[in-house]
Amino acid sequence: MTYLLNALSLLIELAFNLLATLFVLRVLAEAARADFHNPISQFLYRATNPVLAPIRRVIPNWRRINLAAVLLAWLVMVLKRAALFALLGAAPNVAGLLVLGLADLIDFVLVFYLVLIFGWSLLSMLQVDPRQPALRLAGAIVEPLLRPLRGKLVVGMLDFSPMVVMLAIVLARILIAAPLIDLGTAMTLGG
């Protein structure tokens, strides 16, 4: 029976993480002012706008941050945790579930940035067409994190700024996301 539960929990995590990816990408693309005419940006807009449009009437943007998309990404994470607890037959504490959803969202965004920076760095070393839509979108999203260090950590022909940013992201996961996940888990389980 545990094999079936493991398979179901994997499918639940995958489905909710894919949905969260859409909203997180929308937030990051808008915040970075990514090219709207990029086909991937167009897809993100078309896929998320039917859900976001009514919410944005009530919750406006704050500076360049789409708060409605952040709220929906957080709710997706909360629902993911609720579904996983329901799969186990546990009744979680609601306050703990909300904190756990926030912790999951923070961790998700940090891992997302980690993967995005690594992939973008790898592709930028290869001879990939710079007009490729995924590379352009990834470059627009990672550039605000890399800009403060750009050109300051160059040795020979190598720029080590992506590595330093990735190290900072890993440290943020350890020092921020992990304690929040532990707190949310303790609150959720009533401990």
Phi, psi of 169 (to 5 degrees): -65, -40
Residue 83 has pLDDT above 70, yes or no: yes
Looking at residues 64-69, what average pLDDT do you find?
A: 95
Alpha helix ranges (H) inside 32-160: 39-58, 67-88, 94-125, 133-146
What lies within 8 Å, CB to CB, of 112 at 6+ separation is: 21, 24
- pLDDT band at residue 1, thresholds of 50, 70 and 90? low
pLDDT tens by residue, 132-179: 898 899 999 999 999 998 888 878 878 889 999 999 999 999 999 999
d(CA 86, CA 63): 37
User: Among 48-57, 77-86, 182-191, whose mean pLDDT is lowest?
Assistant: 182-191
